Amino acid sequence: AGCGGGDDKGSGGDDGKLVLGFSQVGAESGWRTANTKDIQAEAAAAGFELKFSDAGGKQEQQIAAIRGFITQKVDVIAFSPVVTSGWDAVLKEAKDADIPVILTDRAVDSQDTSLYKTFLGSDFVEEGKKAGNWLVKEYEGKNEPVNVVELQGTTGSAPAIDRQKGFAEAIKANPNIKIVKAQTGDFKRADGKTVMEQFLQSTPDIDVLYAHNDDMGLGAIEAIEAAGKKPGKDIKIITVDAVKDGMTALAAGKINYIVECSPLLGKQLMDLAKKVKAGEDVPQRVLTEETTFTPEQAKAALPDRKY
Ligand code: AHR
């Protein structure tokens, strides 16, 4: 196994090892880094040869990587699509080359579901709903306006689309809760900080920040503190992921609630790769199991948190 890949080893790899080509989104967040490490570790544990490629957040690079995997005749292709649209052509090329594809973490919007074998990952709409439901409960019985600013993930990505949708649906239960500003922070800490600075300048009375991931929330916390406000108190904060840095801020009361999104997809991915390579049937959709965390629960979970 190794990173980069490049030489054409043909199907089966060295010593008949299963060759898995994996195209990763990039390294935009703590979640992504944990996901990459887990996939690399589990590929090694499964005895696969991993050809790992980092797309640096660019769809063109992902398409080029997938084409490279096809040329190298890998056994299985897996990838986590940067955005949902624009995959049909390259997926068709993989299908024509008889190479099974596994969507990992994120979905594509292709109508033809025969272009991939299965989709392993979280239900992002559900995550958005969990975030919204917490907020509705938090303001239950209160009759006051609740101004929410939303830091969205990468524009056009499945988690940004779905987390926005699920949250918007859930907060309908309380018409006082309004999203007053929404902008992308590209799932990055630095962007979360910059966009939050703009929100704070343009919108004086922010009650709540909903950030589509921990990293953007953590960047926003820096902006909130620099503006002389207390994160978690003056502005309530809800995020998604539950990586260690997020959980630490939650335990410290700077974040109020985190919806978990597990990056540990490696083991399930290797099992699915083995099966699709063997021509076995696999479910069209494999969901990740996830929970939510309050500050107290974060304190309890932190000592054993692996990422
Ligand atoms: O696709 C999963 C999302 O991508 C994570 O929530 C976010 O942190 C990552 O960048």
**In ligand 1, which atom is closest to the CA atom of 157?**
1
Whole-model pTM over 0.90: yes
CA 156 / ligand 1 centre spacing (Å): 13
Q: Is the CB of 261 under 6 A from ligand 1?
A: yes
What does the pLDDT look like over 193-228, one tens digit per residue?
999 999 999 998 999 999 999 999 999 999 999 999
Q: Is the CB of 127 under 6 A from ligand 1?
A: no
58-72: average pLDDT: 98
Residue 7 — very low, low, confident or very high, per pLDDT cuts 50/70/90?
very low
CA 261 / ligand 1 centre spacing (Å): 8
What is the average pLDDT value for the chain, to the nearest integer? 95
Q: How far apart are the first and last CA of the chain?
A: 22
Query: DSSP letter string over 108-122?
Result: ---S-GGGSSEEEE-
Stated as kind and residue range, the H or E segment containing 79 is strand 76-79
142-149: average pLDDT: 96
Mutational test site, ligand 1, from 104, 108, 261, 262, max ligand atoms within 8 Å of CB: 261
Backbone angles phi, psi at 28, to 5 degrees: -75, -20
Nearest partner of 108 among 134, 133, 78, 152, judged by Cα: 78
Residue 16 — very low, low, confident or very high, per pLDDT cuts 50/70/90?
confident
What does the pLDDT look like over 25-63, one tens digit per residue?
999 999 999 999 999 999 999 999 999 999 999 999 999
Give me the torsion for CA of 107, 111, 117, 123, rounded to 10°. Answer: 30
Q: Is the CB of 187 under 6 A from ligand 1?
A: yes
How far from 106 is each of 98, 102, 120, CA to CA, in Å?
22, 10, 8
Look at residue 264 and tell me whether its pLDDT is greater than 90: yes
Q: Is the CB of 162 under 6 A from ligand 1?
A: no
15-19, 167-171, 179-183, 206-210, range with the lowest pLDDT: 15-19
Q: Is the CB of 246 under 6 A from ligand 1?
A: no
Q: Is the CB of 31 under 6 A from ligand 1?
A: yes
What does the pLDDT look like over 51-61, one tens digit per residue?
999 999 999 99
DSSP state of 193: H
Stated as kind and residue range, the H or E segment containing 219 is helix 214-226
Nearest partner of 166 among 206, 139, 136, 205, judged by Cα: 136
Residue 10 — very low, low, confident or very high, per pLDDT cuts 50/70/90?
very low
Instruction: Name beta bridge partners: 126.
Output: none
